[in-house]
Amino acid sequence: MDIAVLIKQVPDTDEVKMDPEKGTMIRDGVGSLINPLDMNALEAALTLARRGGTVTVLSMGPAQAERALREALALGADRALLLSDRAFAGADTWATAKVLATLLDKTGPFDVILAGEKATDGETGQVGPEVATFLSIPFATYVSRIEASDEGITVRRTVEEGYQHLRLPCPCLLTVLHDLNEPSMPTLAGKKRGRRAQVERFGLDDLALDRSDVGLSGSPTRVVRIAHPKISRRTAFFGGKDLDAGIEQVIGLLREKALLQGGCRS
């Protein structure tokens, strides 16, 4: 079974910054890591491949995304592909999915394509299903269990009502949740292999796509305004000898809002 894993290098959550003019994320000089849910997808791919098969990881991003791919190689992936070109910059989920699907079609075929349910820097959950749509293959989201057989892939989806069980033919695409597995840590031998292994690079000229199909030009959605939430609440702290006064103030506020009636019993 040949498996592809879509991984994304995302900024550390506490360091995310936005360009107010372009409406795009500022990634230069920001610490980064592999999107956590993509690590679950990679672990699932490595588990499936132990029955016989290969694992290919691919990512679209700036040159620094090579570090994420090398980490995946250190964990056991067989092949790493990097889509990096200034023409891809500013892509929304649609333009990103189109480029990823084009490379998957060029370097495949793959029996299963895996990805995290969503990325921490976007939270849309759109890229996986859009890739499947471009490739015209079935897909399942919110996957929390995977079983492979000669008939195809059986998955359990975690949905609001409980669990849903589906059987999909191969090829198919799955986006996974945290509770699918526990990602492994690389071994020393794996880290050495990850540093030495080749990362194959692809740009716009390697794909049968027009410049207007990719990046900001090929993105049907735009960020037109960025709003930062303002915290307007006023917090008061009481302790020590002021504690009783604080309790009385809280009781008074609760009564004022008709949330407390009568006296307060200790």
Structural domain boundaries enclosing 74 = 2-213
pTM score = 0.77
Rounded to the nearest 5 degrees, what angle is found at the Cα of 171, between the Cα atoms of 161 and 181? 50
Distance CA 71, CA 180 (A): 20
In terms of domains, do 52 and 24 share one?
Answer: yes
Asked, for residue 218, whether it belongs to a domain, the answer is: no
In terms of domains, do 192 and 164 share one?
Answer: yes
In terms of domains, do 202 and 255 share one?
Answer: no
Task: Say if strands 9-11 and 2-6 run parallel, antiparallel, or are unpaired.
Answer: unpaired
**How many domains, the chain?**
2
Asked, for residue 126, whether it belongs to a domain, the answer is: yes
Model pLDDT for residues 60-83, shown as the tens digit of each residue: 988 888 999 999 999 999 999 999
In terms of domains, do 242 and 194 share one?
Answer: no
- Residue 26 is predicted with a pLDDT of 58
In terms of domains, do 257 and 149 share one?
Answer: no
Q: What is the CATH number of the domain that holds 202?
A: 3.40.50.620
Asked, for residue 222, whether it belongs to a domain, the answer is: no
Model pLDDT for residues 220-233, shown as the tens digit of each residue: 887 777 776 777 77
Asked, for residue 225, whether it belongs to a domain, the answer is: no
Distance CA 101, CA 98 (A): 5
Asked, for residue 165, whether it belongs to a domain, the answer is: yes
Distance CA 110, CA 166 (A): 20
In this structure, what DSSP letter does residue 162 have?
E
Q: How many CB atoms lie within 10 A of CB 129?
A: 17
List Cα–Cα distances, 182 to 10, 40, 177, 192, 212, in angstroms: 20, 7, 11, 23, 40
In terms of domains, do 87 and 168 share one?
Answer: yes
- Residue 208 is predicted with a pLDDT of 85
Q: Residues near 85 by Cβ (< 8 Å), separated by ≥ 6?
A: 202, 203, 204, 214
